[in-house]
Amino acid sequence: MKRTALFLAVCALLGACTPPSPAEETPSIPGDEILSPAPSIIPSPSPVPDPSPSPPPDPILEMDIWAAQPSLRYHHYAPFTDGLAEVSIGGGYPDTRYAFVDQTGREVIPLAERIVFSFSEGLVAVQRGEKWGYEDTEGRVVIPHIYDWTNPFSEGLACVWIDERIGIIDKTGVEVVPFMYENAQWNYTEGLKAVKLDGKWGFIDMDGKVVIPFQYDTVRWDQGGAHHGFEDGLAMVGNGSRENGWLWGYIDTQGREVVPLKYISLGEFYEGLAGARTGDWETGVQCGFVDINGREVTSFQYQRVSSFREGRAQVAVGDFQNGFLYGYIDQTGREIVPCIYTNAQPYYKDGLAVVQKDGLYGAIDKGGRIVLPFSYESVYMEVYNGDIAGFSEGVLTVMQDGKYGTVDKDGNELAPCIYDEVNGSFYNGMMRVRLGADWPDYQYGVIDTKGNEVVPCEYEDIYWSFSEGLIIAKKNGLWGYIDLNGRELTPFIFEQAYHFSEGLAFVRYRGLWGILSLEKLLEANFS
C-alpha cells in the first residue's frame, strides 16, 4: 500500500512538470499572470528600466476645449445637424462606409455601405449589404433593410423601390401606395406627387388616388435630376421627347391646362410672370412672357429673357455667332432700358444692375440712368445659390489694372484695387481677399464692407466662408481659428479643421480627429 501511494505521488509530480499537449493549451488572458502567478523555483529577473521614458503629457489634450478627445479615425466629416454628424471612412465608392456620430463622437448609426442625405422626420435611409432600410437617431432599425433604393421621408411618407418598381410607405413601413410606378417625384407638394406609369406621367394624392391622369411625357426636373411638382398651384409638364424636343406648359391642381403646352422652354413664375420661348433652335427662337392664366403679356421679339426681379427683367437680341445686346423691360413689356449693352446682370438687385459697354463695366438704376461710370475692367456678378452677387451688401467688387477692390453704390472707393483674388461676395459683412499673383507667395486676409482689412493678409490660406463668427486660417502648414475681429483664438496646430456647426467642429490633431467645443474654446487660454 505504501509503495502504491509513493508511486502515485511521483507520477503526480512528473505530470505537473510535463508541458500540456497543444490540444490542451488554453489562450492566456492579459492580467492572469498577475491575478494567479504560477509557482516557480527560479527567482524572477530584476526589471530592466525603459531606455526611452514616456513623453510628457500633451497640454493641448489636457485643455478643457474638447467635446470629444482626438480618437476618431474617419476620413470625412459633415456639419452637425440636430446633434448628429455624418462621417465616412474609405477611399471612395464602393469602398467608402458611412456612419453618424453624436456630439461626443459616439457612433450612433454604425458604419454602413451608404446613407441617403441626412435625417428626415427622425429617420435616415441606410444601406446594409445590398438592401436599404430606415434607422432612427439611436441606430435602431425602424423599417427593415428590404428595399433596392429609398428616399427621405416627407409628410410621413417615403418613396421606396423593389424590383425596379416604386411604392410609398409610411414611417412604420406600411405600404400606402403599391409598388407599380416606374418613376416618381421624391416628395409631395401641395398634397400631390408626380408619378410615371407605362411611360406617362400623372399625379396622385397622399392616399395613392390618381388625381391627374397619366398623359404627359415629362414633368419639370432640376439640374440634379429631381422632378418637381406643384408650386403656387401650378406644375410644369411637357410632351415630346429628348430626341425631338419638348413642348412645355403649366397645369393646375385639377389638371386644367392654364398655360398651353406649346413652348419649347418655360421658366418659373416670378412676380406673376414666366419667361417663354417659341420657334426652333435651327431657324431661330423668340422669347417673351406669359402670366399665370397663360396670356402672353409681352411681344415675343427677344432671343433671351431672364426672370422678373424688382419689376424688371433682362432681355436680349442677337445670336451666338454675332453676340447679344442686353436691356431691361417692365411687366407690361415696355423697354425701359434699350438693348445696347454687351453684358448685363441677369436681375436688378437693390435697384441697381451692373452692365457693360465698350469693354468697361458700370451700373444703372431701374430707369436706365448711369449711376456708376463705365470705368472698370471687370466686376463680380456671378450667381450663387440663386442670389445675384453684383452689389453684395451694398458693395460692388471691381477690377482695375488687373487688381481687385470694392466701391459703394455711388462709386466711392472702399477697398483699393490691390488684391490679386477676391471671393466677390460678402458673408456676414466679410470677404476673403488675397495678395500675391503666384503660389507660394499667396497671402490671404479678410476685408469688411467698409474696405477695412480686419484680418491682415499674412496667412497661407483662409476658408472662403465663415460660420458661427469664426474664420479658419492656415499658418506654417497648420490650421487655426480666428474671430471676425482678427484675433487668433487658437494656435495654428491642427492638420485639418472644419467649420463650427451647432457649436462643434471636427479637427485633426496629431493624426487623430476630435471635436472642439466653441463654448469651451472661447473661455480657453492657450498661453
Q: How far is CA 270 from the centre of its chain?
A: 25
pLDDT tens readout for residues 260-309: 999 999 999 999 999 999 998 778 899 999 999 999 999 999 999 999 99
Vertex 152 angle, CA 147 and 157, to 5°: 85
pLDDT tens readout for residues 213-254: 999 999 987 644 456 789 999 999 999 998 889 999 999 999
Q: Output the CA torsion 313→314→315→318 (10° steps).
A: -170
The region, left, alpha or beta by phi > 0 then psi within -120 to 50, assigned to residue 248 is beta
Cell 392654364: give the residue.
258
> Per-residue confidence at 56, pLDDT binned at 50, 70, 90?
confident
List strand residue ranges (DSSP E) for 264-334, in order. Answer: 265-266, 273-280, 284-291, 304-305, 313-319, 323-329
Q: Which percentage of the chain shows pLDDT scores above 90?
A: 70
Residue 81 pLDDT greater than 60, yes or no:
yes
Query: Of 22-36, 117-131, 256-270, 272-286, which gets the smallest average pLDDT?
Result: 22-36
pLDDT at residue 411, rounded to an integer: 87
pLDDT at residue 304, rounded to an integer: 94
pLDDT at residue 294, rounded to an integer: 95
pLDDT at residue 222, rounded to an integer: 61
Cell 424688371: give the residue.
312
Please answer whether residues 105 and 68 qualify as being in contact, where contact means their C-beta atoms are separated by less than 8 angstroms. yes
Mean pLDDT of 481-494: 93
pLDDT at residue 51, rounded to an integer: 57
Please give the model's pTM, rounded to 2 decimal places.
Answer: 0.79
pLDDT tens readout for residues 132-152: 999 999 999 999 999 999 999
Give the DSSP letter string of 134-185: EE-TTS-EEEEEEESEE---BTTEEEEEETTEEEEEETT--EEEEEEESEE-
**What Rg do the C-alpha atoms of the chain give, in angstroms?**
34
Residue 349 CB coordination number (10 Å): 18
